[in-house]
A and B are shown apart, each in its own frame.
Chain A
Amino acid sequence: MQVYLPIAELSVNLFFLVGIGGAVGFLSGLFGVGGGFLLTPLLIFSGVPSSVAVASVTGQVVAASTSGALAHYRRGAIDLHLALYLVLSGVLGAVGGVAAFSLLRNAGQLDLVISLGFLILLGSVGIMMLIESTRAILRQRQGVVVRERLPNQHNWIHGLPMRVRFKKSRLYISVLPVLVIGLFIGFVGSLLGIGGGFIMVPALVYLLRVPGNVVIGTSLAQVVAMMGATTILHAVQSQSVDILLAFCLMVGGTIGAQFGASAGKYLRGEQLRGLLALLVLAVAIRFGLSLVLTPADPFSMAVMGPGGLR
């Protein structure tokens, strides 16, 4: 059954859209990530213009993170104070990201920056995760008792000026690193159409030493608020949010995530992280190859102006 996407201006099979939404949703439920970093590339590779893909996936990420954020909120596992700082700086970063998005699109370098961004981000995160999870698996095999890293150890980042007390996270740290993390994720997330959960969680854990029980909830709450604001920014600035495309992905993603979450119970944490690392690396390599390999066609074309002529 074909469905006509009014903003992307093309017909796509409805089951294909819901299908990839579901498949990515399954993986995101399995690994506990938003899935934007898989969905945006998949849409671009299947012919959706990259500007529409990035802007619409932003809406899908909101839906994918909402149910998780609500569940964590009911359990009281969100540090709202910390999330507020992250959201405010994140929205600021998103304003910059959306502006850069429009500039790059007109200059013809958007695809390049998206490919480079995915390559660098996913490549480095994937390698770090792979090393960490292999070590964990090896240690387990050798029968060494794995000790959790103590979260309340301080480093130099905490000593910067402008200290603020975050009660729920039991932290008394400088607000500067928090704002920098928010700005960075807002900028990158709106430029690449990803929620940034896979950068946010390690940053909160390893840089700020936020305790494990509030990390996921705070990160999810931040993703919902920041990506919501980014969707509105994209709708106003580039007018390339396709609500029908986003809705099809949301429906598939929400259902897929439930099955993924229940499938995730049968796998161990470090095995999950290892698999996720391989997946992230595969996407990074795909982007890297597209940059380095001689393209089949050195020429390409694009329509100038917002969305072309309607």
Chain B
Amino acid sequence: MPKIIIDAVEYEVEAGQNLIQAAASVGITIPHYCYHPGLSVSGNCRMCLVEVKGPRGVMAQIACSTPATEGLEVMVNTDTVKKMRQGVMEFLLLNHPIDCPICDQAGECGLQDYYMDYGLYTNRSTVPKVKKNKVVDVGPLVMLDQERCILCSRCVRFCDEVTHSNELVIAGRGEKCRIQTFPGKQLDNPYSANVVDICPVGALTSKDFRFKKRVWFLSTAKSVCTGCSKGCNIYLDHEKGQVYRYRPRHNAAVNDYWICDEGRLSYKVLNENCLQEALIHGEAHPYSTVLERAQAAIAHTLEKHGKVAIGALASPHASLEDNFVLQDLLGQVLGPDQVWGPAHQELGSSDDFLRQADKTPNRAGLAFLGISTDPEATQKQLANPELKLLIILENNCEEAAFDQLLQTHRPTLIYLGSKQNRLAQKADYTLPITNHAEQYGSYVNSEQRLQKVYRALLPSGDAQPGWQALLSLLKPQLKATPSYSDVEDVWGQLREKIPALKGLSFYELPEDGLSLLPTETEVLVAEEVGNV
């Protein structure tokens, strides 16, 4: 590990980093615009100029292209450095419209941030600003303002290096330089809106988010996108019970710095058709009434038809905790064979980057719990005319298999879901549960990575976490009632019953998740044992 000196203090840093990264690793921020850790180094903004001691004396050098190698000695806070930053700020703002009051980036703008630290606070320019195009409809999700652009080229590099779709380029020369697309072409790729996140200023804004909310009103929760089985890490931005946007959260093992557009916009389902009340045949009733009648239905079926007449559908949409509780409690009541996986797959478009064909976030979680994810097996169970009562956890129910079920032998349906969907309407008893923004929980992605979400919103209406609703529902049938009061209690059971989670708790799950795949050593050991 190389030792470097920053402002006369020696630090040991990881090898192979540039100075911005190395300084950040020891808590020192070097201001920058064009540098982005997920993209190649361009070195054009000049904001990260620092003073470097070299054989020819102290030289101004950009930190982004300076490798943090042994013996590097830099000054990042001298008057000269501050003056250089002030100079760069002045140049960047020279032809900038300074239209913060109507700019969506306000509050999370690199220009605003550094202006507070290095701004000159006096406009020394006496000449007119350079005019460029505004409100350029650059793509289905993105709006461009060329005048706000500082030509850092992050968006260009993103299109060239990450999506390889090459839509955005810099055209022109000198102060006439501007970001544009080829005439008649749009910034239109499945990851296009990432350019909004990486744009350090208000040049590229999200059409979806524009003018909706000042960012300083938003609260942020760390979460995971549930749009597909990739489990991209996100920030979920919300205010007063409404979710306004997802932004990618860096996770080197999953999504790096990016999310797909489809996933990004999937936040919308959190604001639409939330199931708030308990229902009987689609009609709202007091929660306790519905709960009691559902309980009675279970008791009645058990008494009249026995355990085999009841089944339950686990959910690839619901959290690991919900599914575990479903499996655990029903296992106690009915025996282990009556909990089945989803009856159908939910497939969509995919690619070799982030988007997965499986549009459910937790199918791997079911497999991890040992619940079959073979739709055909479940369909067979559902087709069994002996099935008299079915408990369904969070399901989209748009598939023919359900329609058939509902039309033929028609078991009693108890649905626990978060959406006002068809199933909620059709079920005999519907209990509202929370969605992933309203609860703590974890999901296993397609790469066997267990990742957690934090609760961002208060549950809407009477919704309860799925595990809690299940516990209430099955309480009368349980010999010993587990005392779960929060997700950590559920984890108490999880770590007891699932060896892979031994010693873990929800709060100790790393922010970037935990791979459930065997480690290299474990694989080696397993192989050796196998060989013996």
Do A and B interact? no
Chain A contacts to B: CB under 8 angstroms: none
